[in-house]
Structure 1
Amino acid sequence: MTVPRPASASALPPHGEGAAGDRAIQQALEAAWPADLPHTDERQLGTAGRALLRADATGIGRARWPGYFGRSGHAVAPAFAAARFRIQAAIARRDGGPDRAVVHLVWAGCDRGGTYTDGRITDLHFTRTTPMDTTEKGGGLAWTWQPHM
């Protein structure tokens, strides 16, 4: 028997819940923003968004994103400790047009000062670079990161 939650109860886990709360955060994101992209695009964008955020926070994989980090990929020191960085949830949705998308990410990390915080939010914006019919047939990466204007 399932006991209904009171209307005032949050669907989100309390801060500090750890990985046990990640599924609830993912479900809340998906409920708040219903899917509006083809599954292939959503999967590619989710993978790209996670990789870009991980590169930004930890420094791992920055060479893949020269438009974001510059050619050397090491212009700015990573802000967070790689061992304590975790993406809690991610979704990709349209961002004002068929060739624009945003990846909403919720993540947790320990900064260089030792402060651990979860529930951090980052939005990364992408533009389609490969025609849709090519990507559906298994073509290469169809999206590239764009600064939010």
Structure 2
Amino acid sequence: MGTRRCPCGSLEAFDACCGRYLGADGVAPPTAEALMRSRYTAFVHGDVEHLLRTWHPDTRPTALELDPGLRWTGLEVLDRVGGGLFDTDGVVEFRAHHRDGGRSGAQHERSRFVRDAGRWVYVDGVVGEPR
């Protein structure tokens, strides 16, 4: 079996990239961008537990249902502010491409992240192209 590339677009193998962050035994991503990429990968793989676990408790929904007809096809990281190894907050702007049936689309978001108990978590995001 060949090595699968990570869906986050890093060009790394899945297990060496976002695969190590997913699942109950996953390690904490070291940066806000790594967390955002792992969350995108969780959407690709339908890993609702990872999405909820990495969502800030103040903004996290009680449940999350993913659209089974939506297939995520690519990720572009457009900008990042802070979110590094020694930061306590950060912003990552991205465009996530998808297909729904025969239609292509993209979600553009500027996401906010903070450290909570030493781990990066997603707080919220502004969806849509900047004006």
Greater share of helix residues, 1 or 2?
A: 1
Q: Whose Rg is larger?
A: 1
TM-score (norm: length of structure 2): 0.49
Greater share of strand residues, 1 or 2?
A: 2
